């Protein structure tokens, strides 16, 4: 599926189409950087290594905070049930099981309230480890 021209190697265009299909647009510089990581022509194994490293990235913290802003109760928190309803009802819906897994990582700020600033840090991997 990824090797569009079926030549056994994955080209820059193949990588672009794969990311596009996942809803992540790559710049020409990002694509060139990925190609440069490979020591030679990219076979499927090499592609998985490069793609896996790149696909793990998330949006910047500010983007996530902006997305959560519509749920902010004015104190940097949001009601867990309100967010759950939205994420399991509209757009690219999460299943209840996906929500429960995800919400299990959410830092709480009291009963049934999520600390959205701390959660954005957890999502982006910038949360400081608690000692």
Give tens-digit pLDDT for 37-95: 777 888 877 777 766 655 555 567 888 888 888 899 999 999 999 999 998 988 778 88
Residues 18 and 72 in one domain: no
Residues 46 and 93 in one domain: no
Q: Which of 129, 128, 126, 130 is nearest to 59 (CA)?
A: 126
pTM for the predicted model, two decimal places: 0.54
64 in the Ramachandran plot: left (φ > 0), alpha (ψ -120 to 50) or beta? alpha
Residues present in the chain in total: 131
Residue corresponding to tokens 């990824």: 2
> Taking residues 14-27, what's their average pLDDT?
80
Inter-residue contact 16 to 31 (CB < 8 Å): yes
Within a domain: residue 107? yes
Same domain, 71 and 35: no
- 68 and 109 both lie in a single domain: yes
> Does 44 share its domain with 66?
no
Four-residue CA torsion sign, 83, 98, 53, 9: negative
Residues 82, 50 share a domain: no
**Does 120 have pLDDT greater than 70?**
yes
- 46 and 87 housed in the same domain: no
What is the total count of domains within the chain?
2
- The verdict on 118 and 71 lying in the same domain is yes
Residues 119 and 65 in one domain: yes
- Number of neighbours of residue 93 by Cβ within 10 angstroms: 12
* Domain assignment of residue 20, given as a range: 12-55
Same domain, 50 and 26: yes
Which ranges in 1-131 belong to alpha helices (H)?
12-21, 28-37, 44-55, 61-69, 80-89, 96-103, 116-124
Q: Is residue 6 part of a domain?
A: no
């Amino acid at each position: 599926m990824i090797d569009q021209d079926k030549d056994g190697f994955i080209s820059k265009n193949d990588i672009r189409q794969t990311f596009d299909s996942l809803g992540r647009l790559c710049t020409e510089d990002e694509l060139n950087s990925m190609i440069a990581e490979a020591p030679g022509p990219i076979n499927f194994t090499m592609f998985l290594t490069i793609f896996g490293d790149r696909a793990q990235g998330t949006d910047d913290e500010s983007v996530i905070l902006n997305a959560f802003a519509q749920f902010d109760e004015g104190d940097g928190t949001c009601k867990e049930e309100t967010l759950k309803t939205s994420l399991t009802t509209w757009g690219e819906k999460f299943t209840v099981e996906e929500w429960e897994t995800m919400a299990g990582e959410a830092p709480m700020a009291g009963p049934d309230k999520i600390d959205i600033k701390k959660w954005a840090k957890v999502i982006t991997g910038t949360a400081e480890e608690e000692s």
